Amino acid sequence: MTEPEPFGARLRSAMDTRGPLCVGIDPHASLLRDWGLDDDVAGLERFSRTTVEALADRVAVLKPQSAFFERFGSRGVAVLEKTVAEARAAGALVLMDAKRGDIGSTMSAYAAAFLDPAGPLFSDALTVSPYLGFGALAPAVEAATAAGAGLFVLALTSNPEGREVQRAAGADGATVAATVLRHLAESNAGARPLGSFGAVVGATLGDLSAFELGVNGPLLAPGIGAQGATPADLPAVFGSAARNVVPSVSRGVLRHGPTTTGLRDSAARFADQVREAVG
């Protein structure tokens, strides 16, 4: 049986050919209204399908936020399944933004939901939370490795509340965030051209030179656009790791819908600005 190509290699190729940009699919009620859609399952489906049709053949990564689909129950999850399948079929890598994190059999079940190639929600990568201990993520790491998928682990998030956990120091003096980054570097050791296990690091955080961001894996950087960061900020925040940054933009692109042209032009502008900033 042929081993699947690792997510890190597929992501590196997609970033090099399509540009290093991740566009979120975040069907906020307010965005649905802005698009002239009702805040219901029909509006959700129209919003998601339009975004996929506009962008899945040209951006590196699409990132559906599962909460905005789950809020409609089983019918919303059915739309999410279709969104994932159609985006992957059109050539985008799909990062499921679900931020799952638990222990034992429960973590295994989360991994099966999103990282089993036979499952209807199978995604190229999944966001996960390490705050029950990085080792508790082992079932997801194993499932991702077997499927050629990836993980993005919360490390230095852009929300101000995150500091009380992520910047807290343990008995060894290392912060929680530094410990997460160290584990990621160990998980990616020897991977070429890029490891499959990345960190979530906010683009709005300013100078992060105190942290070792060179984990040989991708760095998902939310905060570009509506949250105030710009592509030009990336080198100052990420330093020598900037080439491995996957800037994540949601409202900054989505507010230019519902026209296909508006979405494509906005995404292209961001991609060009990122290329110019990080080289």
- How far is 139 from 110, CA to CA, in rounded Å? 9
The answer to whether the beta carbons of residues 120 and 97 sit under 8 Å apart is no
- How far is 20 from 245, CA to CA, in rounded Å? 7
- Both structure tokens of 149: 């998928």
Q: Is 63 a catalytic residue?
A: no
- How far is 24 from 63, CA to CA, in rounded Å? 4
Which residue is it, tokens 């979405």? 263
Mark 19-57 as b/e (b = at least 16 C-beta within 10 Å): bbbbbbbbbeeebbeebebebebebbbbbbebbbebbbe
From 99, 163, 243, 269, the catalytic residue: 99
Active site residues: 99
